[in-house]
Structure 1
Amino acid sequence: MTRSNEDIAALLQEYADLIAITGGDAFKARAYEKAARAIGGHPVDVATLDAKGLQEIPNVGRSIADKIREYLETGQIALIEEVRASIPAGVRELMAIPALGPKKALALYQELEVSSVDGLLEAIHQERLRDLRGFGQKTEEKILHGIELMQKAGGRILLSAAMDVADQVVADLSTLDGCVACTYAGSLRRMRETIGDIDILVAAEHSTPFMDAFRELPYTAEVIAHGAKKTSIRTTKGLQVDLRVLPPDSWGAGLQYFTGSKAHNIRVREMAVRHRLKLSEYGLFHAKSGRKVTSRREEDIYARLGLPWIPPTLREDRGEIAAGLRDELPELLTERDIRGDLHTHTDLTDGLAPLEEMVAAAAQRGYAYYAVTDHAPDLVMQRMTDEKMLAQRERVRELDRKHRGMRLLHGTELNIGPEGEVDWPAEFLAGFDVCVASVHSHFTQSRDQLTRRLIRACENPYVAVIGHPTTRRIGKRPGIDADFDAVYAACARTGTALEVNGHPERLDLGDEEILRAKRHGVKFAVDTDAHSVPDLAHMRYGVGTAQRAWLTEDDVINAWPLQRLRRFLREGRECSGG
């Protein structure tokens, strides 16, 4: 399950929101927000820390440390429970809508007695919001879009949240006697960006010990169904997890069947029929005699049908069967292929860890090189200056090769302004090893404006990578409306890579956009956008997204040796006219 850090960070962030709702001290609300971020990004599980250790976390003072200890000992914080009770549940429901903050949610409740999403939709259709101060037609449009985003997400959760649960369940069940194999399947194994529920498979001769243990796991809040072949629980986080126990001899067939996707499985079963066979979760059988042909290994299932083993991330019926028959499946990028991370932050701007800690953690991951790319000055809240950046560069040079020989690149994340301009002049940008440029504001410009803005950034000779290109936040904010085919063509022309941002809320570019961009001949950078040491592990999700888009080591610039990467960066400047 998730570390205590995530639970506590969410609780403190909720308290900050509650303070804002009730018109409390803005400074106090900001203090709790900062503490929430610091705890969420702290590399050590706070449950293992005493009061002194908690207060050593940045932005955690004695009062907040006491509340954390209270939560760890009792499972709640009395003060937060008290404030929660004073806020109508309907207001908290409204706060979950993207684009609707706590103050507006409270205003809707107090002025219009709106206390549900349905009630809000009715009020918007009756144009009742337009009479409220701070509301108008544009606000209505943003709220409607936010509701649409929330409804599309439904009960689905981020890939990372599901993976945390699945990893823990697999670890717990794998320790039981008689476990031959245990893993997760379904959309999680295919690395979909959001997950509805989790499928866990166990190979064992006897199912009862596993079903009983599953029901008794400490994070089981409710047993939805219980049987010899399948048991379903709901976790304390509200996520449904289904466990199936298969005979070891049926493991391969069951794993193939329960991984999906449905469309992929239909194609595979159609092939089986053409071979006069029948495929189920128990094995591949002769259609006429019913005799089992094979079942123990996934590879054997595919091989009997004339196919190579197809990686789970490709099983979406997007041409993988035809490619397999032609022996043209790509050798997909893996996490082992990643030689470095090209988009990361430190506490010099909005990161949570100092440079030295981020560098050491990157070296622990076995990287050959690592880029530090703190924000540039146009994001005013980061308070960046030329002097600060040059001082960091000097320190980066001092640390170069000091951790397992890892090479350090000094970079920056530039802000792409409304007209496509970036933060520093050419002579200053020339001193960076790598520049990532990203859109951070003015998301509602026209399609033409946004397209020109991104293309101008691509044409800047010092911009090597366009960061989180669509700016989307899954379930919270849609991507910007630009002509991305024109942007992709510009990237290919100028030698500018597009980022596959591994942060679970972004996964930007997503797999379908990567496939479009690849057709234009674009190269990619799979990065984490890490703001803390734990964030470096998000590379797992960036790579999974890249795999879903059929990317190989050759497509990804940070899977290349440093010499080839430097040549790409140099040629990009020359290609763009630098």
Structure 2
Amino acid sequence: MARPNEEVEALLQEYADLVAITGGDAFKARAYEKAARAIGGHPVDVATLDAKGLQEIPNVGKSIAEKVVEFLRTGRVSAVEEVRASIPAGVRELLTIPTLGPKKAMALYEELRVSSVAELLDAVHDRRLRDLKGFGPKTEENILHGITLMQKAGGGRVLLSAAMDVAEQVVGELSRITGCDRCAYAGSLRRMRDTVGDIDVLVAAGRSEPFMKALEGLPYTAEVIASGEKKTSVRTTQGLQVDLRVLPPESWGAGRLYFTGSKAHNIRLREMAIRHGFKLSEYGLFHAKSGRKAVSETEEEIYAKLGLPWIPPTLREDRGEIAAALKGELPEVVEEKDIRGDLHTHTDLTDGVSTLEQMVSAAAERGYAYYAITDHAPNLYMQRMTDQKILAQRERVRALDGKHRKMRLLHGTELNIGPEGDLDWPDDFLAGFDLCVASVHSHFNQSREELTRRLVRACENPYVSVIGHPTTRQIGKRPGIDADFDAVFEACARTGTALEVNSHPQRLDLCDEDILRAKRYGVKFAVNTDAHSVTHLPYMRYGVGTAQRGWLTKDDVINTWPLQRLKRFLRPPGRSR
């Protein structure tokens, strides 16, 4: 379930948006945004802090701390309720549309009296938006795309991380019940899809009743949708459906295989089973003629009976995995234990909320061999970076190098790729960094040609080692940019520039399908967290899951390599220090 920190973060971000809508002080809105991000990334549960303790969190002053205490005590904040009441409900509904900001939402209401998504669609189709200042054909296109994203997200799908939090709590609770032989989640969550519609939980046990009752009685179960001997479905307080199935212990493997999916992968397996004279179901693999069970207890033995090696769940999407398995060409996909370091992270020097020392210590606790600090460069103006600040940080990094469990530190930066493909610092300054990540942070609506040229030019800079969150997408909030990514992938392969698989659950960028395309060009990848807090470092699991879905191996991922090999990639012959 959502941490209190995340609930407070959402509330403060909403308040910042409401202040912006009402034309309030821009500095006040920005202050609440900063506080929201700081609390969301704070490692300590804010529900355990008083007002004084809250004020020790960066960017949290007395007024914000008092609002947080009020929310944690009562579940509401009077100041937020007042501003909500002053804004038409329709405008708040419009704010749920990705790509539509507070000012445009208010303009639509004030100028056209648009107060619902349906009315906005009518206005777009009637071309009435084009008479408004700041609106035009491109705005209409973005709004339509945003509505499509919202409708897709509205199908009950949630971010992978949110589903994982719920699933792991449910599995933990049910695993403690007497009689539980095994318990695990399945479905698209086990396949590490970027969003999840509902959660499938499986239990192997002789009796189902104790588990069904336990699920219905969990404190975060809000509604029992259906209750039965073999399956119970509930809805959590966060609106997520959980389906529990209890299987005979001897059918565990078959049940887990069946309910993991995907549907297309299962169809392929059933077709193979028929050709081998079997029938495959959630209860086992059976001889077609006699009906006698062949195997059922483990996935491995079922695959083996069909002449296949075990196929990792993240590959089970009917993308050629069965053909590859038959030929002995199934990739040995990268695993989280293979990751030797994180190459894209931030501190409170820019927009992170944890100090350099805290981030380094947390990375060392994860057992990394190396770790990179890559705070934002100056062209992202809100971060107020300067040459002096970054050089002073470098000295601190050098002083900490090797002090935490002998973990080696790399001093880098995340550069902003400007509208023309230009970067924040000249080459002679970039030469002083151990690595440079370059990312697009603005001007998302340039033409396809401009965006492509911009990314390719960044790849061609001799000091850029990694392109960060390449498509810039934010799942359910912002679509990826419209660039010719095949041309970008070709440029990365040609210049020896890695593409990031950003592990933040809201990004997972590149996505699995883009990874598959880029891999065909011979591109290398970096699976990074883009962590802005010590609490973000565990996001690595989601990036690795996405990398697996893209069929990546250890050799494809530069931060699985030993440090010396990594350094040769980051600073190949011809790149001077």
TM-score normalised by structure 2 residue count: 0.97
Name the SS of the counterpart of 1:163 in structure 2: helix
Which is further off, 281-290 or 364-373? 281-290
Counterparts of 2:301 and 2:365, CA distance in 1: 37
Structure 2 residue identity aligned to 1:508? D
* Residue number in structure 1 paired with 2:305: 304
Deviations 1:128-173 (A, max 9, x none): 2233343333322221221122223332211111111111111121
Counterparts of 1:554 and 1:491, CA distance in 2: 16
Structure 1 residue identity aligned to 2:421? G
Deviations 1:25-70 (A, max 9, x none): 3332222211111110101111122332211111212222222222
Counterparts of 1:514 and 1:103, CA distance in 2: 36
* Residue number in structure 1 paired with 2:194: 193
Which is further off, 140-149 or 179-188? 140-149
* Residue number in structure 1 paired with 2:438: 437
Counterparts of 2:164 and 2:450, CA distance in 1: 38
Q: Is the 8 A contact 1:124 1:140 kept in 2?
A: yes
Counterparts of 2:192 and 2:168, CA distance in 1: 14
* Residue number in structure 2 paired with 1:457: 458
- Give matches, 1:291-440, under 5 Å: 291-440=292-441
Structure 1 residue 199: deviation in Å? 0.8
Name the SS of the counterpart of 1:279 in structure 2: strand
Structure 1 residue 517: deviation in Å? 0.9
Counterparts of 1:549 and 1:259, CA distance in 2: 18
- Give matches, 1:59-98, under 5 Å: 59-98=59-98
* Residue number in structure 2 paired with 1:41: 41
Which is further off, 170-179 or 368-377? 170-179
Structure 1 residue 107: deviation in Å? 2.7
Counterparts of 1:136 and 1:488, CA distance in 2: 32
Deviations 1:166-219 (A, max 9, x none): 111111211211111111111110011111111111111111111111011111
Structure 2 residue identity aligned to 1:328? E
Counterparts of 1:64 and 1:208, CA distance in 2: 47
Counterparts of 2:131 and 2:465, CA distance in 1: 48
* Structure 1: segments with no counterpart, 5+ residues: none
* Residue number in structure 1 paired with 2:54: 54
Q: Is the 8 A contact 1:179 1:203 kept in 2?
A: yes
Deviations 1:94-133 (A, max 9, x none): 1011121223222322332222111110112122223334
Does residue 1:556 correspond to 2:557, yes or no?
Answer: yes
Counterparts of 1:417 and 1:65, CA distance in 2: 37
* Residue number in structure 1 paired with 2:502: 501
Counterparts of 2:409 and 2:109, CA distance in 1: 52
* Residue number in structure 2 paired with 1:546: 547
Does residue 1:470 correspond to 2:507, yes or no?
Answer: no
Deviations 1:345-397 (A, max 9, x none): 11111111111111011001110000000111111111111111110000000
Counterparts of 1:132 and 1:375, CA distance in 2: 35
Counterparts of 1:508 and 1:398, CA distance in 2: 33
Counterparts of 1:217 and 1:84, CA distance in 2: 32
Which is further off, 552-561 or 165-174? 165-174
Structure 2 residue identity aligned to 1:489? E
Structure 1 residue 458: deviation in Å? 1.2
Q: Does the C-alpha gap of structure 1 residues 104 and 450 become closer, same or farther in structure 2, counting only changes over 3 Å?
A: closer
* Residue number in structure 2 paired with 1:10: 10
Counterparts of 1:319 and 1:238, CA distance in 2: 35
Counterparts of 2:84 and 2:242, CA distance in 1: 29
Which is further off, 374-383 or 23-32? 23-32
Deviations 1:231-267 (A, max 9, x none): 1111111111111111111111100000000000000
* Residue number in structure 1 paired with 2:144: 144
Structure 2 residue identity aligned to 1:439? V
Counterparts of 1:4 and 1:223, CA distance in 2: 24
* Residue number in structure 1 paired with 2:270: 269
Which is further off, 130-139 or 435-444? 130-139
Counterparts of 2:123 and 2:450, CA distance in 1: 33
Structure 1 residue identity aligned to 2:262? S
Structure 1 residue 81: deviation in Å? 3.0
* Residue number in structure 1 paired with 2:212: 211
Q: Is the 8 A contact 1:461 1:577 kept in 2?
A: no
Deviations 1:520-561 (A, max 9, x none): 111110001111111111111110000001111111100001
Which is further off, 62-71 or 2-11? 62-71
Name the SS of the counterpart of 1:409 in structure 2: strand
Structure 2 residue identity aligned to 1:192? R
Percent of paired sites with the same residue: 78
Does residue 1:130 correspond to 2:130, yes or no?
Answer: yes
Counterparts of 1:375 and 1:364, CA distance in 2: 24
Q: Is the 8 A contact 1:253 1:296 kept in 2?
A: yes
* Residue number in structure 2 paired with 1:117: 117
Counterparts of 2:487 and 2:110, CA distance in 1: 47
Q: Is the 8 A contact 2:39 2:57 kept in 1?
A: yes
Structure 1 residue 577: deviation in Å? 9.2
Q: What is the aligned residue count?
A: 576
Counterparts of 2:86 and 2:452, CA distance in 1: 47
* Residue number in structure 2 paired with 1:250: 251
Counterparts of 1:430 and 1:85, CA distance in 2: 54
Off by >6 Å, runs of 4+ in structure 1: none
Counterparts of 2:560 and 2:187, CA distance in 1: 28
Counterparts of 2:437 and 2:129, CA distance in 1: 41
Name the SS of the counterpart of 1:12 in structure 2: helix
- Give matches, 1:478-497, under 5 Å: 478-497=479-498
* Structure 2: segments with no counterpart, 5+ residues: none
Structure 1 residue 338: deviation in Å? 0.2
Q: Does the C-alpha gap of structure 1 residues 213 and 82 become closer, same or farther in structure 2, counting only changes over 3 Å?
A: farther
Does residue 1:567 correspond to 2:568, yes or no?
Answer: yes
TM-score normalised by structure 1 residue count: 0.97
- Give matches, 1:171-182, under 5 Å: 171-182=172-183
* Residue number in structure 1 paired with 2:279: 278
Counterparts of 1:397 and 1:577, CA distance in 2: 19
Counterparts of 1:66 and 1:379, CA distance in 2: 31
Counterparts of 1:164 and 1:288, CA distance in 2: 44
* Residue number in structure 2 paired with 1:22: 22
Which is further off, 372-381 or 139-148? 139-148
Structure 2 residue identity aligned to 1:441? S
Structure 1 residue identity aligned to 2:54? L
Counterparts of 2:130 and 2:446, CA distance in 1: 23
The Cα RMSD (Å) is 1.5
